[in-house]
Structure 1
Amino acid sequence: MNIKGNSSRGLLGTTLGFFFGFAAVALYGPTAIKFKEAMDLSPAMLGLLIAIPALSGSLLRIPFGAWVDTTGGKKPFFILMLLSLIGLGGVTLLLVTSYPDGMKGMYGLVLFFGFLSGSGIATFSVGIGQTSYWFPRKQQGFALGTFGGLGNLAPGLFSIILPVFLTYYGFISAYFAWFLFLLLGTILYGIIGVNAYYFQYRKAGLSDQEAKAKASQNGQEIFPTGGVKDSLVNSAKIKNTWALVVLYFTTFGGFIALTAWFPTYWSEFQQFAPIKAGLFTAIFSILASLMRVYGGKLADTFGGEKVALLSMFTILSTAAILSFSSNILLSILIVVLLAVGMGIANAAIFKLVPVYVPKAVGGAAGWVGGLGAFGGFALPPIMGAIAGKLGTVGYARGFIVFVILSLVNLAIIYVLINKKRNQPTITN
């Protein structure tokens, strides 16, 4: 029986795939003005166009994450990357053939391709499940932190590279280049990505018990129970799944939201030039992503709940200061601390998914990753509404949203810690 791969290869495949999956959505925000001019879009229509990839990238995480529990992850992951490739390719073709004069009336089609493009972000929940099945519980924090942290580097790196590329090569050329980049990533994942041993044995024809026994001999500790529907239903019945959803809505949804919000904050409130605003946004995004890797190690050592608690205090205090600070140097320092807290919290929270929902990791990853990432779609309009009411100072006051969410999250983490004390059989 030819069993492929190991945990290192499994982690490499999912991390590369997730990193490349972000390629399809990197262009929409920075190039939105081009669509606005060509199609004469209202602010609301433009806002929907920018947000639509984040919408599909969050909602598709739920069913595709659950699908991992029946297939091991490679098939749903690859399908999501193909959908993203179709979306980005469709927009590119539309621009090549119709931009700018032929774009009138194409808004619906651009939205459709944008929705498909967001599929690349949805690979996150699939990768969480696929990675979780590869690693023993004591290494979950490191593995998931590495996957999420390095994969999440994409938005920050793209925010640095993209303005330069647009300046030298132009709008349409950028879409074509990013399409080729995503194509390369899809091919690489198809070659490198591999399912954990249990799913390979099952595919080879072994029974459930035989596959578990063989996979256990190779070091696999976590196994699924039931199909896609079972995984979603079983994980949804566990209250802690929804606690993790709320926590992740603030941390990862907040990460996506702030990556989109900071360019406006730096330029409108702190009066930074666009390139400078983009650079400081990239610093936040990249630092938060890198800290996620370190946060996974901390969660393995000290426990996910404790690390999440300390990180949430950091998010609370930094958001409170940012809400009222107008000092540039202080604000820069506080944003750095916010990135550290948010990155570590993201790793700690997903460390808890296989701990609290070990028999439906894929389903739980779908709920947590999907509804959590929805924060990236929901939070910017709320912060924008605050800015709209208060004027320039509102771009700072908008961080009050994270103060409120952090207070709710601290209460949730406190409950989780107390519950764990009464359930000593749960191990971190």
Structure 2
Amino acid sequence: MPEPIVNEFHVAPIFLTRDYIEQKLRAYVKDAKLQLTELQVTPGTANGENFVSVMTRITMKYRGKDLVNQKATFLVKTTFADKDPVAHLLEPYGIYVREMDMYEEILPKLSAIIKQDLHDPRKLFAGTMNVDRERTSIIFEDMSLEKYFVADRIKQLDREHAEMTLEKLALFHATSKVLSERQPGIFKDKYERCFFNKHTRGYQPMMENLIKALEISLRDDEELYPRYGEKLKRVAEHIMEYCERVMEPKKDDFLTLCHGDLWTTNIMFHNNDEGRPDNVIFIDFQFSVWNSPAIDLQYFFWTSLQEDLCHTEMVQFYHTKLVHALKNLNFKGHIPSLFEFQQQFQARSFYAIFAGLAFLACMMHVGKEELSIQRAISPLKEDEAVRVSLYKTKIMRQKIKRFLPIFDRMGLLDDM
């Protein structure tokens, strides 16, 4: 058996040998005579940043049939479901295979449509070198080499970065709609399990525990708790049911492929020479789902936008870009009017509770205590204390104080 590649800091997945990488690189560049001359392997992320997968960076030098020495760097994302302590929760969602489906089949087709039909050379995602289903592994371009970067999740996005993201999201949605029109059934069955669906409620303990932690965190707040304490208890009891209703397509809804987990950490920006954003790509497609694009907007708005941005205005901006892309792609189906789409967006309002009150607290976590899905679902008192602490930070208390009156006025904290 070939020895795993090892350096001082990192042990790569055991299958990631020199021979394996050379074989995959030969297939990628279509050169059977390619020779790997040098290889360096380092961690792709710091310890603790990924709970379900391992990211490994491989930097190589190689010589092709033209005998020219070249250099390349890729990231290897490897999932270890058999070692994941919450695999029983995640496996029914299909996340271990969906991202491979996206990188191997869907994303290349979307990119081809954008380049061929719209003559848009900008990247939509990191290029895929190889998908290995036997080893649940994906090798793709290291976009940091092209100076792509992830925005600050704590500061969140200003108008310029938000609009750049929405323009690209509209293109992603529109292209998926056209792909579905050209290849009917391509999204059938595989793309119906986001965080909330009719098949599994694996995330239920996590959702309920986080809303309960919010309620507990407010018990010493003489202003907020009398107004919202009892309402939050009821929200915790019904959060799965209400979010599942949100995910049920309504008659005449405009449906597309959605990213499903669109927030700052899953978005990478590229700046021009003046330091302004000129492109954005999306990463992490484990929860991609065929549904209303409004769920991507609700999730993105409540987790990633700075407070001075008007959501209704952002919907209008997105809709303009969506219509423009659909028309340029010669989409033959019904394109929703702004009024129709605003209604569709409002019908998904309860998604704001999940995004802004449950997941956002995890996204804003900066403490020393390690946060994991396992800890989020744990019934232990010490883990409950960690969850409560998420809502005690200054930034989350400020957001809660702003969000709760908004959600209350919208009726999202009442029985529905």
* Greater relative CO, 1 or 2 (CA 8 Å, sep 6+): 1
Higher helix proportion: 1
TM-score of the superposed pair, with normalisation by structure 2: 0.27
Max radius of gyration: which structure? 2
